[in-house]
């Protein structure tokens, strides 16, 4: 299991060639109360950096980007009825999508939890 973060505050947890993707606790705090999550269709191919989902909060709408390239193999359908789970458990049950990763080594280019925490200090 490899957990990494992006400068856009997405997290990715890689197990084999399957990646679970969501947003960090910092991101959900910045967004405020999340009221809607728009997820891609299963089977959609995403390029690295492509829009993977859209989150709407009481403050704003925000795009979520794919940290790595891959094909969507599962979406968190529970978010349709309970988008607030992203606020209460952003790095757990508030995940957005699962990807079959095109290149697992690309995950190594992303920040470790330690590097991400250091990055947050610069914001």
Identify the band that residue 31 occupies on the pLDDT scale cut at 50, 70 and 90. very high
pLDDT (tens digit per residue) in 52-69? 999 999 998 999 999 999
Number of domains in the chain: 1
| 82 alpha-carbon distance from chain centroid | 17
What is residue 34's predicted lDDT score, i.e. its pLDDT? Answer: 97
Which of 55, 56, 52, 54 lies closest to 65 in space, CA to CA?
Answer: 52
What is residue 67's predicted lDDT score, i.e. its pLDDT? Answer: 97
Residue-range definition of the domain harbouring residue 20: 2-120
pTM of the model: 0.95
What is residue 2's predicted lDDT score, i.e. its pLDDT? Answer: 81
d(CA 118, CA 101): 27
Q: Report in angstroms the alpha-carbon separations of 114 from 85, 90, 120.
A: 25, 18, 10
What is residue 70's predicted lDDT score, i.e. its pLDDT? Answer: 98
The CATH number given to whatever domain includes residue 31 is 2.40.50.100
Max CA pair span of the chain: 37
């Amino acid at each position: 299991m490899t957990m990494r973060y992006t400068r856009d505050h997405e997290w990715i947890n890689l197990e084999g060639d399957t990646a679970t993707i969501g947003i960090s606790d910092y991101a959900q705090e910045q967004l405020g109360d999340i009221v809607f999550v728009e997820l891609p269709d299963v089977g959609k191919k995403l390029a690295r950096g492509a829009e993977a989902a859209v989150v709407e909060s009481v403050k704003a709408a925000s795009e979520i980007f794919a940290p790595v390239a891959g094909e969507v193999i599962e979406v968190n359908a529970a978010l349709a009825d309970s988008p607030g789970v992203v606020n209460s458990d952003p790095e757990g049950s508030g995940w957005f999508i699962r990807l079959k990763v095109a290149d697992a080594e690309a995950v190594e280019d992303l920040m470790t939890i330690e590097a991400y925490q250091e990055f947050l200090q610069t914001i």
